Amino acid sequence: MKIGKVRTYAGATGTDLHIDQPLSNISIGFRPRGLIARDIMPLVQVAKQSDAYYIWDRDEWLRSPSTQRAKGTEPRKIQLKVSSQAFFCLNYALKAELPLEDVANADAAINLRQSAANRIVDGLEQDWETRLATTLTTTTNVASAFDLTAAGLFRWSDHVNGAPVEDLFVGIEAIRLRTGYRPNKLILSGHAAARMFRHPDVVKYVRGAGDNIGGGSVTEDQVARAFRFDQVLIGDGVRNTADEDAPGSYIDVWSTAAILLYVAPTPGLMEPSYGYTFWWQPEGFPGRMGVERDIDRKTKVEWVETHMFQDEEVTSVPLGFLIVGT
């Protein structure tokens, strides 16, 4: 039997034996995580880009009238005071342009079309998160606020003097005494959550006396049950504040904030809520944050585009309380 020629590899290196190729099932990317904007203010779809909603007068509605009637007299007359507030759904949009040559040449793992779609939708979500964080951490948009860096107050990182349990109850009572409603949502920045959940006073309050020996921590579900919140939201998102092409500079989107809100579980008539997100879907646009594609035949460029029309509206300032400097 004739034996074929045996090939030897003495002295061969890795690059002689294999030419590196990009993996088809792995790539590294940093899609935003820890975004909570869509869970804060209920979404309300509207028929027109701009309209208005009615606001019943809180002072008049919570005034307790004398109802006793003397024989032969008319019942006491009450007043019904109502005002209106306008909203306007601004257009938020992003677009990516993909030369057709790049689309054709890209490796499977790059998937330019899908990657571009992800980036522009993520961009809308990031901008929404940043807008809402700015709104909720502006002191004029809440009934009360205090800064734990001020004299006489102590930050939650201080395990001896810091008092996160007492601080939260100050906020709960501030909202209740103005409205009769207890806040049902607690929003914590990643910074605030990391400090609150490990604070010995919180661990003791949530888990009971004697159950915080040696430290430990609690979870958002445990905090929600202990303080009777429907939801505890942790805004872990970060954003790069540097200009394009400059080295990254990252900050917490929600800074050092802890925010107490009452938000309507279901939007409806005669239902108070700290805020709503009004959104509009005009004809001819893709669905809310939907992605649209087309090709410019002259330039041979494919574009990928997304839109949303919305207004994040603070509808009842007394239902919000802000703590910063945690």
Sole residue written with tokens 């306007």 = 88
The residues near 19 (Cβ < 8 Å, ≥ 6 apart) are none
Q: How far apart are CA 33 and CA 114, in angstroms?
A: 18
Residue 134, SS3 per DSSP:
helix
Question: What is the CATH superfamily name and number for domain 31-58+80-324?
Answer: phage-related protein like domain (3.90.1690.10)
pLDDT digits (tens, 9 = 90+) for 280-313: 999 998 888 888 989 999 999 999 999 999 999 9
Q: What pLDDT was estimated at residue 2?
A: 58
> Which of 176, 320, 318, 323 is closest to 256 using CA atoms?
323
Whether 86 has a pLDDT exceeding 80, the answer reads yes
Angle between helices 220-227 and 200-207 (to 10 degrees): 70
Q: Which of 19-23, 238-242, 318-322 has the lowest mean pLDDT?
A: 19-23
Whether 157 has a pLDDT exceeding 80, the answer reads yes
Query: Could you tell me the pLDDT band of residue 24, with boundaries at 50, 70 and 90?
Result: low
What's the mean pLDDT when you consider all of the chain? 90
